[in-house]
Amino acid sequence: MAHAVHTQVAMHEAYGGVVPELASRDHIRRLIPLTERVLTEAKCARAEIDAIAYTAGPGLAGALLAGASFAESFAMALGIPALPVHHLEGHLLSPLLSADAPAFPFIALLVSGGHTQLMRVSRVGNYKLLGESLDDAAGEAFDKTAKLLGLGYPGGPALAKLAERGVAGRFKLPRPMLASGDLSFSFSGLKTAVLTQVRQRDLSDADKADLAAEFQEAVSDVLVAKSLTACRQHQLANLVVAGGVGANRRLRQRLNEAMAKQGGRVFYPEMELCTDNGAMIAFCAAQRLLQNGITPNDRRGAFAVRPRWPLNELS
């Protein structure tokens, strides 16, 4: 019906990354105005709301607590249920918000700032982890490499933009765990390989663009190969890509080509729903409500957030 995002990018930019205390204080400032704006845009009266969904984890404890306290209080005041949602489940189901949505079951590649995971999704609430990153997440590798190349925060989009002007292959970077035979990932070595290049000599702007292109190609090679393997192993033709790195154009192009060759298809969320947003959290809770029905809130105001929360603990 309506959705809005307040981005804290400008606030964190000066520090080159997220400052947790500033993030949670800003959450407190923004939550009520943003909620009022969305309700107005949706022409939705408070009495029409069935439930309030919020992100309960994983993430920064302070930011999670700000959202959870607000959502639980709002729901209690309205006498409706509050539904804690897993952040990654929100990402996973976000492609289902598109008009052209994939059918279950499918393989999901989740590539965000904190996670790189391949999952088999049988239905809402049934997620089997097939493999994940043993160290840095893909988005984290993008961000750290961007920093090494002197690019601003957030690094992922900046690095992708620089890569458009560069040529991959002039610099040689490793394709970590490409031949590992499993669906695990590792991206921290890639960042170290870039660091080695940066230390070896003074890089010109053209060098940096070529290095960025090679980095993007290396990450894509690994993500494409393992996603294809997961689809083949599970005999599934549909691949869903979710999370911030899923906004990367080159990765999309490579995945589309490779999956088409294999007789499959790739589904993405709308571009504006690739990075963090509230719509995917509301949608996820709505799917669960449709599946399980509305159960009364019997927690008497007690709630908790989970900064660490493995997705396969969901049911």
Contact footprint for ligand KG4 (CB under 6 A): 112-114, 139, 142-143, 154-157, 160, 243-245, 247-248, 275-276
* Nearest residue to 82 (alpha-carbon basis) of 50, 55, 52, 57: 52
Site size for Zn ion (CB under 5 A): 2
CA distance 208 to 218: 15
Q: Is the Cβ of residue 102 or residue 156 nearer to ligand KG4 in the bound state?
A: 156
- Looking at the chain, which runs of residues are DSSP E strands? 52-57, 82-86, 106-111, 116-123, 126-132, 238-242, 265-267
Q: Which positions from 85 through 114 interact with Zn ion, judged by CB under 5 A?
A: 112
CA distance 62 to 59: 9
Contact segment (CB under 5 A) with Zn ion among 1-9, 30-38, 211-219, 271-279 equals: 271-279
Q: Is the Cβ of residue 11 or residue 225 nearer to Zn ion in the bound state?
A: 11
* Nearest residue to 250 (alpha-carbon basis) of 153, 136, 163: 163
DSSP secondary structure letter of residue 185: B
Which of ligand KG4, Zn ion, none interacts with 67 (beta carbon under 5 to 8 A by kind)? none
Which of ligand KG4, Zn ion, none interacts with 245 (beta carbon under 5 to 8 A by kind)? ligand KG4
Q: Produce one character per residue of 125-152: b if its CB has 16 or more CB atoms within 10 Å, e if not.
A: bebeebbbbeebbbbbbbbbbbbbbebe
Which of Zn ion, ligand KG4, none interacts with 139 (beta carbon under 5 to 8 A by kind)? ligand KG4
Which of Zn ion, ligand KG4, none interacts with 307 (beta carbon under 5 to 8 A by kind)? none
Q: Is the Cβ of residue 89 or residue 276 nearer to Zn ion in the bound state?
A: 276
Footprint of Zn ion (CB under 5 A):
112, 276
